[in-house]
Structure 1
Amino acid sequence: MTAGKILLLGVLASLVFVSSEAAVFRWIDSTGRTHYSDRPQPGAQELKLNKLAAPFYYVQRVYDGDTLLLKGDIRVRLLGIDTPEVEGRYRAEQVGGGSARDWLRQRIEGQKVRLEFDQERHDHYQRLLAHVFTVEGKHLNLLLVEEGLAVVSIFPPNLKYGTQLAQAQERAEAARRGLWNMPDYAPRPILAIPQEGYQRGWRRYQGTPVAIRSSRKYVRLVFSKQVEVRIPQAQLNLFGKLERYLEKQLEVRGWVSRRKENYSILVRHPSGLKLLF
């Protein structure tokens, strides 16, 4: 651990019982060294204590680009994003999975991190759901998306940082960084899904929805008799009027599921749909 990090932790420890308006100050001297203090300095940046005083957790292991193991055998799933799978006992590595894992390992394995939670604390695997920050305050979920190593995958009601993540994805896509420049993740015709069969992992598909159908649980954008996009009724308020997608070229991002000879993509958040102009 660098002297700057040790100093920052010491300052935070001394201020932890101060009011939430307390702050620490960070500045860089003429030699490029970073300093922290609880007293203002000329040219220093003020860091609010209420964003830094949360407990720090030691990262024992980075499993992949979106899953960590903390000291105490605590597993953490990064909120709002998804990275390709790495090689496992029963699965092959997906393209880009190793790059995301290695990027994250280099930054936090063996280091301390801060966690921010949203509406749900655990997933069905009993992993903690969190936004993960370095000691210096870098938002790792966001940076993974910005670098094109992860895609946005928002599960309501966990909407914290949703706008920032979607904007970071737009920048990564425009710059063709990471996954956005890999042939495996290039968009495919959505009507080709029945011919191609089931495709594992996150994919991009393009097509034109021709109808809207509703049921008790879902509203469906229909592309053909065999292919549709399912939007949960519970999240419909996030999308606005679905009629704006009809008869227009649309890109759908997500995971294909199959039921007999029918295929669908479940989209829980508007970031999974993109109108093409």
Structure 2
Amino acid sequence: MIQKNLLLTRREMEVIDKKLKNMQLTQQDSNYLSKFVRPKLKEINLIDAKTLLEKLEYNPKALSIEKRIKGILLKNIKNIASITIYGSTIYNSYKNYRDIDILVIVKKRFWKKSGEKYKKILEIKKQVKKHIPNLDLSIYDEKTFQNSYSTNISLIYQLKDRKTIYGNLKLPNKLEISKLDLRMKTDYSILENDEYDGLEIYKALRNLILIILTLNKIIDNKKLIKCLNEEIGMNLVEKLKLNKESKIEKEIALLHLKKLLKSVLKQLEKSKWEKIVLLNH
């Protein structure tokens, strides 16, 4: 008999056991397989258990980190509508809490010129540097965020894995991305010479993979990482991110980039639609 678990009933386990042992099934057994067992197993198969467990894993430092971040931001910025931590910090359940991406939405601007906003960001980064050396803080007013979010594929992906620790981050359930937006985004992956460093090449490759996934109506950071690793290999991906690639490895990465860019542009040119609709769960 297969090992007991909480996902399947005793009766379901008995039927599975008979099937695995090639024993003759009754009509009732067959009905159990088709109506209960197979649908349940298909649903289980859709679950990424490893990622889910990592997200559910309790990290005692997470609460204190969030409390510190929230306290500093509320003290330094007025009229905050929401504070959201996003990206790899959430995806990896605070395993690297020294490098955190934060989005702050304010009800109305506290700055007249963008320089005033960035000055405030620098002040906050200095305050948290001891605990969070690499803080990436973005601040939007509500109107600007709502107008720009739906056309900003990178931001859509970044906020796919998120945790709002203050207020309520309002995101649309349905997104419409135009072909023109995607075509313009390919410009970020055009590197005209080999003077770019590894990190810039990595970002250019990542940008193209992101466009490809969007064309296939996929918003999934895990899939993004997987596709990038499959394109040039995990080892080279890590070297590019750290600017530790060799001259030959850099040339290989640039060849992949040019080939991928050509493929994406061709795909966009052939497509007959003007807008693509994405469901933002």
Q: TM-score range by the shorter chain?
A: under 0.3
TM-score, normalisation: structure 2: 0.23
Q: Whose strand fraction is larger, Structure 1's or Structure 2's? A: 1
Q: Is the radius of gyration larger for structure 1 or structure 2? A: 2
Q: Which has the higher contact order (CA 8 A, sep 6+)?
A: 2
**TM-score (norm. length: structure 1):** 0.24
